[in-house]
């Protein structure tokens, strides 16, 4: 079994975190398929104490953070802050980080890089998702949200496959562009224009910080 290690945080207590948690299942399934050892930190276990404990004990190569965020923090279960600028972001030293959360690339990511994180991919603005109210109880069946999932999961999938963070960022950006072009040529469904707007928003707020040649 590979010595490469992955830690995924998956709080799941509201609509947004339920969707992100569901999407992150793809990364866990791929890691299992590739014989990559992983630790799935989910639901009420996503608290600061448990996050810090597992980060220190496991020392993962790749940290995939899902949840609500601000410029200076990322939260776990019930909005408890698990990662905070200048408090415990040194835990990310020597690690690849992907934060599927709002705003953290604008400050937390920069601070983490200053403290030795290898690469940090995240979003400098709020990360947008549109959902179908009729599918919110089963996120994997939500065809509207699927437009937002596809470019987002490109990052974790590409990193897990051993490609550089630059390639991961480019693949995600290219997927955003592909979907925006597809929606620009057809308004086949009611929300197409709005989806296109928010995909562009996510694309332009996505950031790659630190070393662009880093691989797991």
Instruction: Give this prediction's pTM.
Output: 0.96
> What residue spans define the domains of the chain?
5-210
Is residue 187 very low, low, confident or very high in pLDDT (cuts 50, 70, 90)?
Answer: low
The string of pLDDT tens digits covering residues 113-164 is 999 999 999 999 999 999 999 999 999 999 999 999 999 999 999 999 999 9
Q: What percentage of the chain exceeds 70 in pLDDT?
A: 97
Percent of the chain with pLDDT over 90: 94
Query: Quick one: tokens of 99?
Result: 């934060």
Contact 176, 205 (CB under 8 A): no
The span from the CA of 8 to the CA of 91, in Å, is 14
Are residues 138 and 131 in contact, defined by beta-carbon separation less than 8 angstroms? no
Residues with Cβ within 8 Å of 58's Cβ and at least 6 positions away in sequence, in order, are: 5, 7, 39
Q: How far is CA 51 from CA 78, 79, 111, in A?
A: 14, 14, 19
Topology (CATH level 3) of domain 5-210: Rossmann fold (3.40.50)
């Amino acid at each position: 079994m590979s010595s490469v290690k992955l830690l995924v945080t998956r709080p799941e207590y509201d609509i947004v975190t339920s969707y992100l948690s569901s999407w992150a299942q793809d990364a866990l399934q791929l890691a299992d398929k590739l014989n990559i050892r992983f630790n799935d930190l989910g639901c009420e276990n996503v608290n600061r104490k448990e996050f810090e404990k597992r980060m220190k004990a496991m020392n993962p190569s790749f940290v995939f953070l899902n949840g609500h965020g601000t410029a200076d923090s990322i939260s776990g279960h019930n909005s408890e802050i698990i990662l905070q600028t200048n408090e415990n972001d040194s835990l990310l030293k020597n690690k690849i980080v992907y934060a599927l959360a709002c705003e953290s690339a604008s400050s937390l990511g920069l601070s983490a890089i200053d403290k030795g994180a290898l690469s940090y991919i995240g979003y400098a603005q709020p990360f947008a998702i549109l959902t179908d109210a009729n599918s919110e109880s089963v996120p994997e069946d939500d065809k509207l949200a699927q437009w937002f999932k596809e470019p987002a999961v490109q990052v974790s999938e590409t990193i897990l496959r051993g490609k550089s963070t630059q390639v991961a960022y480019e693949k995600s950006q290219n997927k955003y562009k592909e979907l925006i072009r597809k929606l620009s040529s057809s308004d086949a469904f009611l929300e197409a224009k709005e989806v296109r707007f928010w995909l562009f928003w996510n694309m332009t707020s996505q950031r790659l910080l630190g070393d662009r040649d880093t691989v797991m």
